Amino acid sequence: MEKTNKKWPFHGWLGLILIAVFWILNWSLPGNRTHVLFFPLWLGYGLTVDALVKVRKGTSLLTRSPVAYIGLFFVSAPAWWLFELLNRRSQNWIYLGIDNFTGFEYFLFATLNFSTVIPAVFGTAELVGTIPFIRKIKKGLKILSYPKNPAFFFITGWVMLCLLLLRPRYFFPFMWLSVFFILDPINARLGNRSLLAEAEKGEWRTLLSLSLGCLICGFFWEMWNFLSFPKWIYRVPFVGFRHVFEMPVLGYLGYIPFSWELFALYHLVAGFFSKKTEAAYIQITSMN
């Protein structure tokens, strides 16, 4: 391991300032404000987490490649729009306050804010990957016959998606699994990074780091949303009890497979540009 630079980087200071300023403004200003304050708040989160990763292991998403880091934002927005489209059918969450915007204004602000999702999740996953107990996890249970025969997972994903669309009241959890089961086999077939391909080798650290990282992001999403406006609220069948902020406590489990879907979506897109770059950029469990 190379000697890491423990000096707190400039972008980390910028991130802390953004969090401090826009967290206070978002929770104190009256009326509509979150549509313009969400992006700088979460940009601050992303920069702060990235700085923590840089200090802990000497490299980070931003410092590794500023261009690729910006690319995360461009992949993130359409990725979340996909889930917004699926939610049109399931209606598991709705937004309060969007009636104050025209359709174009809503699309513009929503797209800007959705762009922060993947940078936040991947950055936090890299931070989780620096925790000693994660790094020391040895290879474990292997998923047999994958990726040589991914058809089962691919078909299972489409069955999940069809059930979600046909009976969303009963199969709404498949929103957070179907996309992964459809796309991960495609990534494996195209030679892109694949979580199931890693699991086939008994490597679970990336999947675990993504899961914990997204749960951490989920906590901050729900906390900062609680006193925001506009904001989202949930209408989840059967499990809509014991809320932590606006989210039912069992709903937080959805953040775990959601991180896998983001990983699959990103690597599908990135693989079309450069498989070599795509494979090397996201270093969730590696340490210099």
Write the pLDDT tens digit of every residue in 153-184: 999 999 999 999 999 999 999 999 999 999 99
* pLDDT > 90? residue 5: no
Domain that holds residue 109: 10-281
Number of domains forming the structure of the chain? 1
Stronger pLDDT, 142 or 114, i.e. the higher one: 114
* pLDDT > 80? residue 151: yes
Q: Are 252 and 221 spatial neighbours (Cβ–Cβ below 8 Å)?
A: no
Q: What is the pTM of this model?
A: 0.95
| 286 within domain boundaries | no
What pLDDT score was predicted for residue 19?
A: 98
* pLDDT > 50? residue 188: yes
| 4 within domain boundaries | no
| 37 within domain boundaries | yes
Q: Read off the pLDDT of residues 201-252 as tens digits, 9 standing for 90 and up.
A: 888 999 999 999 999 999 999 999 999 999 999 999 999 999 999 999 999 9
| 206 within domain boundaries | yes
| 5 within domain boundaries | no
Lowest mean pLDDT of 25-34, 88-97, 102-111, 137-146, name the range.
137-146
Lowest mean pLDDT of 1-10, 82-91, 257-266, name the range.
1-10
What pLDDT score was predicted for residue 1?
A: 41
* pLDDT > 60? residue 4: no
| 121 within domain boundaries | yes
Of the candidates 59, 54, 69, 43, the one whose C-alpha atom is nearest the C-alpha of residue 7 is 54
Report the percent of the chain where pLDDT is more than 70: 94
Neighbours of 149 (CB within 10 A): 10
| 3 within domain boundaries | no
* pLDDT > 90? residue 200: no
| 203 within domain boundaries | yes
Spatial CB neighbours of 23, under 8 Å, sequence gap ≥ 6: 41, 224
